[in-house]
Amino acid sequence: MKKIINGRRYNTDTARLIGQSVGDGITEALHRKQTGEYFLHVVFGDGETLTPITPAEAEAWAKAHGCSLDIDAYTKLWLKLTPQMAKRLRQYAERNQMSLNSAVIDALKKMLYTESDDHL
């Protein structure tokens, strides 16, 4: 989603995804722009919103959802996928209205962690 708010441009495709929460038909995603600004992207039913938030609000959201605003806390990982696997991953991401990165993280969480792992 792209949106201009108070003369500031926000774009979920170019901002870094910090964390995501999915439940009850609502997906919330915390993003950070290259400028350091934070915003929440919320998808629900037929609609979606994009809301700029303060660093304190972003910190509170991240803490409540078990993620970190510390960019160094994340590891970049390059994946080599077969064309068929890449296609299925794109379809999964589109069907669940999430980025490819979020789809990979979602799949890894399902594979690597149990319900008792509440730190994710």
Summarize pLDDT for 16-45 with one digit per residue, the tens.
888 888 888 899 999 999 899 999 999 998
Considering only CA atoms, give the Rg of the chain.
15
**Residue 48 and residue 95 share a domain:** no
Q: What are phi and psi of 92, to 5 degrees?
A: -60, -45
How far, in Å, are 47, 75, 82, 90, 105 from residue 10 at the CA level? 17, 24, 32, 23, 23
Last residue of a domain, one of 36, 55, 74: 74
pLDDT-derived band at 52 (thresholds 50, 70, 90) equals very high
This model's pTM is above 0.85 = no
Structural domain of residue 12, as residue ranges?
1-74
Going by C-beta distance under 8 Å and a sequence separation of 6 or more, which residues neighbour residue 36? Answer: 55
**Residue 69 and residue 26 share a domain:** yes
- Percent residues over pLDDT 70 in the chain: 90
What local confidence, expressed as pLDDT, does residue 7 receive? 93
Spatial separation of the C-alpha atoms in residues 21 and 96, rounded to whole Å: 12
Specify the pairing of strand 38-44 against strand 26-32: antiparallel
* Number of domains within the chain: 2
**Residue 85 and residue 59 share a domain:** no
**Residue 4 and residue 46 share a domain:** yes
**Residue 65 and residue 87 share a domain:** no
Spatial separation of the C-alpha atoms in residues 99 and 12, rounded to whole Å: 9
**Residue 79 and residue 49 share a domain:** no
